[in-house]
Amino acid sequence: MPGAVRDGDVWQLTWSGPAVMGIVNATPDSFSDGGRHAAADAAVAHARAEARAGAAWIDVGGESTRPGATPVPEEEELRRILPVVRALAADGTVRISVDTRRPGVARAALEAGAHLINDVHGLRDPEMRRVVADAGAAAIVMHMRGEPATMQDDPRYDDVVGEVHGWLERAARRAEEDGVPSVLVDPGWGFGKRDADHVALLGSLPRLVAHGRPVAFGASRKGSIGRWAGVADPAARDPGTLVVHQEAALGGAALLRVHDVAGQVQALAVRRALCAATRRGPEQDRIVLSGMEFHGYHGVFEEEARFGARFRVDVEMRVPLPAEDDLARTVDYARVYARVSEEVTGRRYRVIEALASAIAEGVLRCDARIETATVRVHKPHAPLPGVVRDVTVEVVRRR
């Protein structure tokens, strides 16, 4: 759940474990619940029900950003969201986020009591950054390729993870430099991405988390879930949403943006109990053997086969570890070392990708309790026509 710490005059939000953000679309045309909460009293009642169901945050939106959506005038967006923000601020029981890309709407919402601006444009607009910084509010910086009207028209990336992470890093840094005290980043599921991009971004969440900012995540009821599950009606996609959000939670997401708050809260409670019992999760136990060095004969060249070279190997094993002081209850890392040594010195591989893959599979075979093996093979003396400190291949294999 989010907390807050004071740093001089500024409050910083702190995060531990995924908090749930309930969606309130005060719109006639949102993709899964358009029109259901368009009237202010229906939107407020829905927000209060979400707060009672365990949402720490409510995200109020007055303009749909679904693929193909057309923008609404600013006055209309204000007319839709302000009564909801004012009512929730008067309740004082939940933190209020406003989903907008307009500085004028953000300013009015913050004056009315909102705590966070959720900007699907990633605070690209300097005026938006100034409004949020002046209010000392938090912000979600989300990645979107293009604009809602056209963003799903054949989006393409050379390296979706590198491009999205790099974009988020630059956008978040720009916001921080302009004085926004708390910035969350969101990879923007469904915003100018193909299903394969979603899968890659979901798998890369631990790396995004490692950039050091809390990660917000929202796949709720979106198109890819419908395609994977064969469910056309967006309102019937909550079970699929929970599966994706479970992966996001394991990847270290701090905030999950959902339509079905009660379901998400229940799923997280069960997940917490299981993680505690099995020591799984982003902070999962692990054993790491780093910097093992061997002389091997890998490579495509004749000289490499004849003279060999030095290879360095790191192995990280995700494995639930016992509290007891008993070798039989844990993984014997001497066995793992012997396995790695045998693979690097006993055979010749033409490419280190194949070597890394064989090591990872061998490590998994060493002990049935090892759930994931991450193996890095370094080839510092790779035959290249220039100065290179190291060439590394990393593979991850799960049981």
Q: Per-residue x/- mask for ligand HH2, residues 150 to 189, rule CB under 6 A?
A: ------------------------------------x-xx
CA angle 367, 372, 376 (to 5 degrees): 105
CB of 146 to ligand HH2, least distance (A): 15
CB of 258 to ligand HH2, least distance (A): 9
Q: Per-residue x/- mask for ligand HH2, residues 16 to 35, rule CB under 6 A?
A: -------x-x-x--xxx---
Q: Which of residues 357-386 bind ligand HH2 (CB under 6 A)?
A: none
CB of 72 to ligand HH2, least distance (A): 11
CB of 188 to ligand HH2, least distance (A): 6
> 27 or 152, CB closer to ligand HH2?
27
Question: How many residues sit close enough to ligand HH2 to count as binding (CB under 6 A)?
Answer: 21
Helices (H), the chain: 40-52, 74-91, 103-111, 126-135, 160-177, 195-203, 205-209, 223-229, 238-250, 261-278, 302-307, 333-346, 352-366
Which tokens hold the place of 250? 């394991």
Which positions are catalytic?
Answer: 222, 257
Question: Quick check: helix, strand or coil at residue 135?
Answer: helix
Residue in 24, 37, 118, 214 binding ligand HH2, rule: CB under 6 A: 118
Nearest to 214 by CA among 248, 237, 239, 246: 248
Residue 257 interacting with ligand HH2 (CB under 6 A): yes
Angle between helices 103-111 and 126-135 (to 10 degrees): 10
Residue with tokens 């090892």: 370
Residue in 61, 103, 181, 299 binding ligand HH2, rule: CB under 6 A: 61
177 touches 133 (CB < 8 A): no
240 touches 264 (CB < 8 A): no
Residues that bind ligand HH2 (CB under 6 A): 23, 25, 27, 30-32, 61, 64-66, 99, 118, 120, 140, 142, 186, 188-189, 216, 218, 257
